[in-house]
Each structure stands twice: as structure tokens, then as C-alpha cells.
Amino acid sequence: MKVLKIIGVGVFIFTGIFYFSCAPATKVVPQPPDWYPNPPQDPNFLFAVATATSRDLQLASEKAKQDCRVDLASQLEANVSGLIKKFDEEVGRTEDSELLGLYTQVSKTVVDQTLVGARVKKLKVYKEGDLYRVYVLMELPLGFMKEMLLNQVKKQEALYTRFRASQAFRELEKEVQELRKMRKEEEMKYMEFEKKEGGGE
């Protein structure tokens, strides 16, 4: 009788082990990084977040970065168009098709050239089964965009003649001058540092 009980218990334990070992594993999906649902806020930068999956880590990373660039381009275009509209409204809105065409041309050039300055601020990789999930946070400094916009407007005599009377345009010129001054001071400090380092060898 005892033998039968022992056998019965053994069969029960074996069945339980077999059942749980064959049961499908619960897929744990990691939580996204804190910055994904809540990107940083900074008046001097634009930010974009994206996520992508692939069996290939490099491909997942590139897909997420490209989605960020598309988002940044949209934000950048809105910023550039907003500034041009502000200049135009302050000097009296125009319906001149040639000027409107220049607005579009300048806006596109500024967006295309400024996007080159976009950079990855944070990147996080998770494994989901046989897939890689990549989260990316990219940032784009607005200072370069403003400098590019100023340069492009000055290249177009018709636009510069029209916009230079705008208070917003004069503020942009002043802001860009400050940015250039700061950049020059940083370059001078770096050169002095390099000189000291070189002299110390």
C-alpha cells in the first residue's frame, strides 16, 4: 500500500513538472526609458523620440534615428515658417508670388542644412525574444537654425530689404551676434587650453 502511495505521489510530481515545463513562458516586455514618454524641454533645442524593432540591431537603430529625423524636420519647418511669418506680418503681409516663393526656398534650405546638426542624445536597447527594440532620443540646437535663417535671408536681397525693418528680424540678428560671440569665446578658451597642454609636455 505504501509503495502504491509513493508511486502515486511520484506520478503527481512528475506530471506537475512536465506541465509547467511545457507551459509557454510569459513574455516580459521591458518598460521604455523615462525620457521616451517625456522628452526634455529646452528653449534652445528641439527634441524627438522614436522606437523601432528588428532582428538586426543596426537596422533597428537606423530606423529609430530616421523616424527622429523626420520628426525634427517637421518641428524645424514649423519653427522656420513661424519666424518668416512673423517677419512678414510685422512689415505688412505680402501676396507677391515671387516673395512667397523665396519664403519657401529659404525655409527648405534652412531645414535641410540645419538637420545635419541633429545628434543622438540617448539610446537604449532591449531584447524582445529574437528582436531588438531600440529607443532613441535626438536633439537639435536651435542656434544653428537661426544663424542659417539669417544668412539665407541676407543672401536674398529682396527678402533682406523687406525684413530688416522688422523688430523680430532685428532681434534675430542680435541673437545670432551673441551666439557667434559666445562661440568665438569658447574657441579662444579651447585654444588657450590646448596651448597650455602643449607647453606642459
Each residue's pLDDT, cut to its tens digit, for the chain (201 residues) gives 544 454 444 444 444 554 445 545 555 667 899 999 999 999 999 999 999 999 999 999 999 999 999 999 999 999 999 999 999 999 998 888 888 899 999 999 999 999 999 999 999 999 999 999 999 999 999 999 999 999 999 999 999 999 999 999 999 999 999 988 888 888 888 888 877 777 655
The Cα 58–Cα 52 span in angstroms is 11
| Every domain of the chain and the residues it spans | 43-175
Buried b vs exposed e over 96-133: b needs ≥16 C-beta within 10 Å? eeeeeebbeebbebbbeebbeebeebbebebeeeeebb
All three cell numbers of 15, joined, read 506530471
Element (H, E) at 13: helix 2-22
| Residues contacting 56, CB < 8 A, separation 6+ | 132
All three cell numbers of 42, joined, read 529646452
